């Protein structure tokens, strides 16, 4: 017999005992045959015994139901675990007893087929479609690891919640004797979970640290609640927005201070952010909490430096944006309304309401600029960013006061003077939202559609709107696009390489729409103008350059060995167009380098390039850039980075211009690589061969023309 059945049987036993007690004892005491003080006392004792038997029945029933339901819940999870494990094995992966997923590559194949270089052999198998790339394999392992981790987390949640419900079913109120049975025992695990979650959150929000067991309980409760809209809403409604913000501030301390179980608090932080995301989808929660946040958004809360000891005051909206950034999946109207509320709080003020006094090197992880942080959150919801960033909104965001940080005016001489500057990550959220609106994808996601993207109509119109606004803004105001936005605008353009090339290489054609995404030809002058401005930033330049190389790589895959041995007209046209486009981009960058007049500006570019996070980062933002392309991209762009470093380090303009041969070299090597992939021998693609000379001549001619033609592109 199971424990659940034991408790159900115990409940029946208690019920029978109560009935027997009532018949044999209470009825005898109440039949009127006995009276007096002793009998009155006996009646009271008999009633108490009857109440305890009834309470024992209630408690036993509750325990039986909790155990029965808990067993069913765990049984379902065991089935899910078995099914997931079977799916992992069917996907040719392995899983250990402790839940670790791993892969083993096949060692089949003749040793004679292998080259001395194992990496080259493996790459040849990838290129031939015999095996998947390492990146694809790692992604597959990671996907299943996340799946199995989630199942195991659900086991952990269930275990804690069942134990919690059992404990609360046996617990009597504090004003009663602890050894009594619980007459109000509840078998509702969900209610027990919500009540305990509220207790722990209010304790933590009040500034009292949780012990190990309490942290485990709160992690499990919030993790489970964050899986359902309704549960998230009910728990947050119990807590309220003010306690929610206070909770976030105490979690911030717990995450930072040494010895404060940082990982536990980080998990709780993510869970409550996910709870808010889920709850925001429930009516009328989203609208009500948005109104409540208007009341608490400008209230001051304590925040702490990176070590968790020095505190300073921040606004509620800054706390809210910080905690919300830990999750995604928010209701679109909730996001847009909160962002508008923050924008409205700035109107009519002489200075930004988000100003923080920060000593250099002492910045915290709080969202200095909550509006920018909200735009960053919006970028993880591309459809929301697309509908939000209208022309009017672009103007309002561009014109707002971005100076949200106050730092010492002089770091050498101690004075009381402060200066207002933009935050170190200023406009990063805004830039990410611009990319999301233009592409329809989260810019931080590594998930790309197969092949080159065919963008939705609303994203194409958003891209046109953004390009038009910033090019017109820069021209009409006779000033540059905000420098912080250049890498983001370049990444947006890098997602439209076909269209950008078609527009730029056909500047004088009559009205037309581009073949890939239907961009309208009047955009030509604005795309050209924005490209010329964007390449002033080295990272933006690399993004545009890489996207055109990637496009050329995919185009070259359409040609056979015959096309390379007897260069076909389409192949020669591709070589020329690619060379011309790269020449235009390089020419624009060359002018930007030559126009730099301040050593500090050039030095800043040099530092950025030296600390640039690598060519691999470009592959995560350029669609269609596969493994076979990466080797060329590595070579070509590493050459470009090196060349740019030399440009900046050189003193003479002439010397700087000479380094732009890297773009043409990358194109030449890309053509040779693609030819080799279809069986054209290396000697046939050397510079000395007639074949190579003809193809390379077209690429050189296009590149040379591009270097000169960029100046004559319509930009006004």
Q: Tell me the per-residue pLDDT of 253-290, one tens digit each, with 9 for 90 and over.
A: 776 665 556 788 889 999 999 999 999 999 899 999 99
The strand pair at 418-422 and 403-408 is best described as antiparallel
Q: Range with the lowest mean pLDDT among 21-35, 109-123, 525-539, 670-684?
A: 109-123
Q: How confident is the model at residue 486 (pLDDT cuts 50, 70, 90)?
A: very high
What are the backbone dihedrals phi and psi of residue 420, each rounded to the nearest 5 degrees, phi first?
-100, 130
Choose the CATH number for 188-327 among 1.25.10, 1.10.10, 3.90.320, 1.10.3470: 1.25.10
Higher pLDDT, 419 or 442: 442
CA distances from 429 to 442, 444, 467 (A): 12, 11, 18
Give residue 83's pLDDT. Answer: 95
Rg (CA), the chain: 34
Q: Tell which phi-psi region holds residue 467, choosing left (phi > 0), alpha (psi between -120 and 50) or beta.
A: alpha
Domain-wise residue ranges, the chain: 1-93, 188-327, 329-445, 468-716
Q: Is the pLDDT of residue 51 over 50?
A: yes
**Using 50, 70 and 90 to split pLDDT, how confident is the model at 696?**
confident
Structure tokens at 435: 């990319």
pLDDT at 215: 92
Residue 284 preceded by cis peptide, ω within 30:
yes
Does residue 459 have a cis bond before it (omega within 30 degrees)? no
pLDDT at 388: 98
Over residues 686-706, the mean pLDDT reads: 74
Judged against a pLDDT cut of 50, whether residue 116 lies above it is answered with no
Q: 677 falls in which pLDDT band (50, 70, 90)?
A: confident
Q: What pLDDT sits at residue 175?
A: 60
pLDDT number for residue 320:
96
pLDDT of residue 684: 65
| Whether the predicted pLDDT of 333 surpasses 90 | yes
Strand blocks (E) in 462-569 = none
DSSP state of 542: H
Residue 626 has pLDDT above 50, yes or no: no
Could you tell me which residue, 701 or 237, shows the higher pLDDT? 237
> For residues 415 and 413, what is the distance between their CA atoms, to the nearest angstrom?
6
Distance CA 45, CA 33 (A): 18
For 587-607, how does the pLDDT look when each residue is reduced to its tens digit (9 = 90+)?
Answer: 888 777 766 544 445 545 544
> How is 182-244 classified by DSSP, letter by letter?
-TT----HHHHHHHHHHHHHHHHHTTPPP-HHHHHHHHHHHHHHTT-HHHHHHHHHHH-HHHH
Q: DSSP string spanning 239-262?
A: H-HHHHHHHHHHHHHHHHSTTS-H
> Does 201 or 113 have the greater pLDDT score?
201
H/E stretch holding 300 = strand 300-304
Backbone angles phi, psi at 80, to 5 degrees: -65, -40
Most confident of 11-20, 155-164, 205-214, 378-387: 378-387
Query: What percent of the chain lies above the pLDDT cut of 90?
Result: 39
Distance separating alpha carbons of residues 70 and 176, to the nearest angstrom = 28
Mean pLDDT rounded to a whole number for the chain: 80
Is the predicted pLDDT of residue 656 greater than 70, yes or no? no
* 691 pLDDT tier (thresholds 50, 70, 90): low
Quote the pLDDT of residue 447: 60
Q: Quick one: pLDDT at residue 615? A: 40
Residue 72 CA to chain centroid, in angstroms? 35
Instruction: Output the six-digit token pair for 198.
Output: 């509220």
Structure confidence at residue 487 (pLDDT): 92
What is the rounded average pLDDT of the residues 492-511? Answer: 88
**Mean pLDDT of the 494-517 span:** 88
Residues of the chain with pLDDT > 70, as a percent, come to 77
**pLDDT of res. 637:** 45
Question: Residue 111 has what pLDDT?
Answer: 42
Of the candidates 200, 201, 196, 177, the residue with the CA atom closest to the CA atom of residue 186: 196
Q: Identify the band that residue 415 occupies on the pLDDT scale cut at 50, 70 and 90.
A: low
Residue 657 pLDDT: 46
Question: What gap in Å lies between CA 83 and CA 323, rounded to an integer?
Answer: 35
Residue 354 confidence (pLDDT): 93
pLDDT value at residue 40: 78
Q: Give the pLDDT confidence score for residue 252 in this predicted structure.
A: 78
């Amino acid at each position: 017999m199971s424990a659940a059945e034991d408790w159900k049987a115990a409940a029946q036993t208690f019920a029978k005992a109560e009935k027997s007690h009532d018949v044999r004892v209470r009825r005898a005491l109440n039949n009127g045959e006995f009276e007096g003080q002793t009998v009155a006392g006996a009646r009271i004792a008999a009633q108490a015994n009857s109440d305890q038997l009834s309470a024992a029945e209630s408690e036993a029933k509750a325990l039986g139901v909790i155990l029965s339901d808990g067993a069913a819940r765990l049984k379902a999870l065991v089935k899910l675990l078995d099914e997931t494990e079977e799916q992992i094995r069917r996907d040719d992966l392995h899983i250990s007893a402790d839940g670790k997923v791993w892969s083993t590559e096949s060692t089949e194949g003749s040793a004679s087929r292998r080259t001395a270089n194992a990496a080259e052999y493996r790459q040849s198998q990838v290129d031939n479609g015999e095996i998947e790339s390492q990146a694809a394999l790692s992604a597959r392992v990671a996907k299943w690891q996340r799946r199995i981790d989630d199942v195991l987390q659900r086991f952990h949640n269930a275990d804690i919640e069942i134990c919690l419900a059992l404990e609360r079913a046996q617990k009597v109120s504090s004003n009663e004797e602890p050894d009594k049975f619980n007459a109000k025992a509840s078998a509702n695990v969900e209610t027990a979970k919500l009540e305990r979650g509220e207790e722990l959150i209010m304790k933590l929000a009040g500034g009292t640290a949780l012990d190990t067991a309490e942290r485990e309980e709160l992690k499990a409760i919030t993790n489970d609640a964050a899986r359902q809209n309704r549960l998230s809403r009910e728990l947050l409604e119990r807590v309220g927005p003010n306690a929610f913000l206070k909770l976030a501030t105490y979690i911030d301390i717990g995450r930072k201070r040494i010895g404060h179980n940082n990982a536990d608090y980080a998990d709780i932080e993510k869970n409550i952010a996910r709870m808010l995301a889920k709850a925001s989808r429930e009516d009328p929660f989203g609208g009500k909490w948005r109104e409540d946040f208007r009341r608490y958004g400008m209230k001051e809360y304590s925040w702490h430096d990176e070590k968790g000891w020095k505190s300073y005051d921040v606004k509620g909206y800054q706390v809210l944006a910080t905690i919300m950034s830990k999750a995604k999946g928010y209701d679109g109207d909730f996001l847009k309304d909160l962002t508008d509320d923050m924008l409205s709080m700035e109107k009519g003020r002489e200075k930004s309401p988000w100003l923080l006094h920060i000593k250099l090197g002492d910045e915290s992880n709080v969202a200095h600029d909550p509006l920018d942080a909200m735009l960053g959150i919006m970028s993880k919801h591309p459809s929301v960013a697309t509908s939000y960033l209208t022309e009017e909104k672009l103007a309002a965001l561009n014109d707002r006061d971005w100076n949200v940080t106050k730092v010492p005016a002089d770091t050498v001489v101690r004075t009381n003077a402060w200066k207002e500057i933009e935050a170190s990550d200023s406009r990063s959220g805004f830039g990410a939202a611009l990319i999301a609106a233009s592409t329809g994808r989260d810019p931080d996601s590594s998930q790309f559609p197969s092949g080159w993207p065919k963008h939705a109509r609303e994203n194409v119109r958003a891209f046109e709107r953004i390009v038009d606004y910033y090019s017109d803004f820069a021209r009409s105001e006779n000033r540059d696009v905000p420098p912080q936005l250049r890498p983001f605008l370049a990444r947006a353009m890098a997602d439209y390489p076909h269209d950008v090339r078609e527009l730029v290489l056909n500047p004088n054609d009559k009205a037309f729409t581009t073949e890939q995404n239907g961009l309208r030809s009047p955009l030509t002058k604005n795309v050209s103008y924005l490209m010329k401005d964007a390449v002033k930033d080295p990272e933006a330049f690399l993004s545009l350059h890489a996207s055109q190389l990637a496009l050329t790589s995919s185009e070259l895959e359409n040609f056979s060995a015959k096309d390379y041995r007897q260069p076909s007209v389409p192949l020669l046209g591709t070589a020329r167009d690619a060379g011309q486009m790269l020449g235009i981009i390089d020419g624009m960058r060359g002018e930007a380098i030559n126009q730099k007049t301040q050593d500090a500006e050039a030095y800043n570019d040099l530092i950025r390039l030296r600390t640039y996070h690598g060519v691999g980062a470009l592959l995560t933002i350029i669609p269609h850039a596969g493994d076979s392309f990466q080797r060329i991209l590595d070579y070509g762009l590493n050459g470009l980075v090196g060349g740019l470093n030399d440009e900046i380090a050189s003193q003479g303009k002439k010397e700087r211009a000479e380094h732009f041969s890297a773009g043409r070299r990358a194109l030449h090597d890309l053509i040779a690589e693609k030819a080799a992939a279809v069986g054209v021998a290396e000697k046939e693609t050397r510079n000395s061969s007639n074949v190579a000379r003809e193809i390379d001549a077209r690429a050189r001619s296009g590149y040379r023309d591009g270097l000169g033609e960029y100046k004559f592109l319509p930009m006004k």
